[in-house]
């Protein structure tokens, strides 16, 4: 059974002075069995969040990593620098693609570096509004997957705990969301691309797919009601303990339901 995951992407919010307290509050409010919780603060807040979460079953993730081990890359963060600070990393977020010009090829290099360094990757894919309206959403996402994953050893990625987040770009920070049916169809298309186009075969079914477009406690039940969706990559709502508590509680309920169904098979 695939795990249920709620990953908080704090983006460029919080400071070292307040991040630890927020992380501790969220951890205390979200103690539910059967749900993997991850908090991804800004780089400068990683140490504060790590320290605040000691003794709690909440992982810390970075929001990005450089594809090289070291070198003359001003302002960048290497995987080695994250050692002891984070165990997860978000890769290829649409804001990185838009603002930093990240390509599928570059994201693939970052993925390889993350896996080699022991970081658990959440790789983001998703289409623009014009691409969905023109009927090319699946084509675009499939191309992103093939561009980043070509030549990768899928068994190595699976051992690393590879996760994909589907984030329709037009639904990020806009208050709009894809329908749960659309998100589920895309999750199925993602696994089909892995299985058929990238040669993963049956192993593709084990890859968790999260939904990441303006997820809140009010709409997460709709998405988690789809068997192909395994959690959320949460943006703005992840800064609010009440919101995180509601989302993790719903994910825990879904985890129990799925575990029961699995046990009856």
Around Cβ 85, how many Cβ atoms within 10 Å?
16
Distance, in Å, from the CA atom of 81 to the CA atom of 101, rounded to the nearest integer, reads 23
3-class SS of residue 212: coil
Compute the distance between CA of residue 35 and CA of residue 57 in angstroms, rounded to an integer: 10
105 part of the active site: no
Within a 10 A sphere around the Cβ of 18, how many other Cβ atoms? 12
What whole-number distance in Å separates Cα of residue 164 and Cα of residue 107? 13
Backbone angles phi, psi at 192, to 5 degrees: -65, -40
Q: Which of 52, 56, 47, 110 lies closest to 84 in space, CA to CA?
A: 47
Q: Which of 93, 154, 226, 243 is catalytic?
A: 93
d(CA 178, CA 198): 26
Q: How many CA atoms lie within 13 A of 118 on its CB side?
A: 8
Residue 102 designated active-site: no
Of the candidates 96, 186, 110, 187, the one whose C-alpha atom is nearest the C-alpha of residue 147 is 110
Residue of 131, 167, 226, 243 marked active site: 167
Cβ atoms of residues 169 and 125 within 8 Å: no
**Residues acting as catalytic residues:** 93, 167
């Amino acid at each position: 059974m695939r795990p249920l995951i709620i990953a908080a992407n704090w983006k460029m919010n919080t400071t070292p002075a307040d991040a630890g307290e927020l992380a501790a509050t969220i951890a205390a409010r979200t103690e539910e069995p059967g749900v993997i919780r991850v908090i991804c603060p800004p780089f400068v807040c990683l140490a504060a969040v790590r320290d605040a979460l000691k003794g709690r079953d909440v992982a810390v993730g970075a929001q990005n990593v450089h594809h090289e081990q070291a070198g003359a890359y001003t302002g960048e963060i290497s995987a080695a620098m994250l050692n002891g600070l984070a165990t997860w990393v978000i890769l290829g977020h649409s804001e990185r693609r838009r603002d930093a010009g990240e390509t599928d090829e570059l994201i693939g290099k970052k993925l390889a570096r993350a896996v080699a360094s022991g970081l658990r990757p959440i790789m983001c894919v998703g289409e623009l509004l014009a691409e969905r309206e023109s009927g090319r959403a699946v084509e675009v996402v499939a191309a992103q997957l093939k561009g980043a994953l070509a030549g990768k050893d899928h068994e190595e990625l699976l051992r690393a705990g590879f996760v994909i987040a589907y984030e329709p770009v037009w639904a990020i920070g806009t208050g709009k969301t894809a329908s749960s049916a659309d998100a589920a169809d895309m999750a199925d298309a993602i696994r089909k691309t892995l299985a058929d186009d990238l040669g993963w075969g049956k192993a593709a079914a084990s890859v968790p797919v999260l939904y990441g477009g303006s997820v809140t406690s009010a709409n997460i039940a709709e998405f988690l009601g789809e068997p192909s969706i395994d959690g959320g990559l949460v943006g703005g709502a992840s800064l609010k303990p009440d919101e995180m508590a509601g989302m993790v509680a719903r994910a825990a309920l879904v985890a129990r339901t799925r575990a029961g169904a699995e046990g009856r098979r």
